[in-house]
Amino acid sequence: MRAQSRALSNPVALWWAMLTLVSFANIAFWFILYRQLSGGGAAVTHSSDTSSMLALSAAYVFGCAFRSVLPRADVQRICLVDSWLSSVFVGRSVATIAEIAFAAQWAIILAQLGAIADAETAVNMARVIVPIIVVAEICSWYAVVTKNFLYNAIENSLWAVAFLFVGIGLGRLLPEFDGLVRWLLIAGLVGIACYLAFLVVVDVPMYVKRWRIERAAGTPLLHPLVGLRDSATRWTVTHDIEHWREEIAWMSLYFSAAVWGSLALCALSAMNDHLPHDRAQASVAPPAIAQPATVR
């Protein structure tokens, strides 16, 4: 009983329970969304784009659920469950697939809305998002295998750049739509602004600070091949709040709000036939009046 009481009073255990609960709820919402979109309806269209978005969202939703049930901190090699599934190699592999899928969702929705609105800026932003995130994933892997926090800082800086471009694309689309689509674009912009602020104020400085501490202590870096093997074979189980304190904030937001964004992108993409009806009337110029050139 005392052991159970201590476990329940451990803030890490409570946080872990919250992550797990949210993850199962997210999976349930994905299945509900899948059923609704597969069945079609007045406001949704089942197409190859819808199927692609559902598949990409599944990769992200289930990938984040896996990482919620088996949390770990990559460079530190710490986890909550003593299992080979908690190894950094497995977790980072799952994360790579999930994060590229999430980036692809944003690229698809920007390209889709940009084509409807004839907004070249949004379409151009869509083209660069996935390549940037692929480079970010390479940096993340290099950080993992060498235990160099500087590359985590670079990775998250690239995420900031990618979502700055997403924000530019959404901002360009904002005046082109009315109704529900405009409100969804506004919500997306607010979410991206908060995410960028978190990266700039909290996340990137945290990794830079860790890199400086390790450098000042003279901690040796691992050779990539040695580090790759280390990432697959070594993990330390700890439930100490001091080991997890700095991970809790970003993991909590990442495995909840970001997943909800993935689900929302699926729903928005499935409204393909409805989207032209939400085009802003002001975007159609009267033929008798000469209009100045607009930014596309």
Asked whether residue 290 is domain-assigned, the answer is no
Closest CA to 87 of 68, 99, 74: 74
Asked whether residue 72 is domain-assigned, the answer is yes
Asked whether residue 211 is domain-assigned, the answer is yes
Partner residues linked to 106 by β-bridges: none
What percent of the chain has a predicted confidence (pLDDT) above 90?
77
Q: Is the confidence at residue 291, as pLDDT, over 60?
A: no
What is the rounded average pLDDT for all residues in the chain? 89
Burial class of residue 10 in the structure, from the number of CB atoms within 10 Å of its CB (0-12 exposed, 13-18 middle, 19+ buried):
middle
Question: What mean pLDDT comes out for the span 139-148?
Answer: 97
State the number of CA atoms in the 13 A half-sphere of 237 facing the CB: 9
Residue pair 159/203 in contact (Cβ under 8 Å)? The answer is no
Interval 225-273: pLDDT, tens: 999 999 999 999 999 999 999 999 999 999 999 999 999 999 888 876 6
Stronger pLDDT, 55 or 278, i.e. the higher one: 55
Asked whether residue 203 is domain-assigned, the answer is yes
Please state whether beta strands 78-79 and 236-237 pair in parallel, antiparallel, or not at all (unpaired). Answer: parallel
Using left for φ > 0, alpha for ψ between -120 and 50, and beta otherwise, residue 147 falls in left
Asked whether residue 285 is domain-assigned, the answer is no
Asked whether residue 1 is domain-assigned, the answer is no
What is the DSSP-derived secondary structure letter of residue 77? T
Q: Is the confidence at residue 289, as pLDDT, over 50?
A: no
Helix (H, G, I), strand (E, B) or coil at 177: strand
Contacts of 127 (CB under 8 A, 6+ apart): 107, 111
Residue pair 203/157 in contact (Cβ under 8 Å)? The answer is no
Confidence (pLDDT) at 5: 47
C-beta neighbour count of 83 within 10 angstroms: 12
Handedness of CA 8, 14, 16, 18 (dihedral sign): positive
Interval 1-58: pLDDT, tens: 444 445 556 899 999 999 999 999 999 999 999 998 876 554 555 566 788 999 999 9
Helix (H, G, I), strand (E, B) or coil at 153: helix
Q: Radius of gyration of the chain from Cα atoms?
A: 21
Residue 211's domain comprises 12-38+46-276
Helix (H, G, I), strand (E, B) or coil at 147: coil
Q: Is the confidence at residue 63, as pLDDT, over 70?
A: yes
Contacts of 1 (CB under 8 A, 6+ apart): none
If you write DSSP's letter for every residue of 231-294 in order, what string do you get? HHH--EE---HHHHHHHHHHHHHHTTHHHHHHHHHHHHHHTTTTGGGGB-GGGS--TTS-----
Asked whether residue 296 is domain-assigned, the answer is no
Interval 80-121: pLDDT, tens: 999 999 999 999 999 999 999 999 999 999 999 999 888 999
Q: Is the confidence at residue 74, as pLDDT, over 80?
A: yes
Please tell me the pTM assigned to this model.
0.88
Place of tokens 């689309």: 173
CATH number of the domain bearing residue 271 = 1.20.1070
Total domain count, the chain = 1
Asked whether residue 292 is domain-assigned, the answer is no
Percentages of the chain per state (helix, strand, coil), in multiples of 5? 80, 5, 20
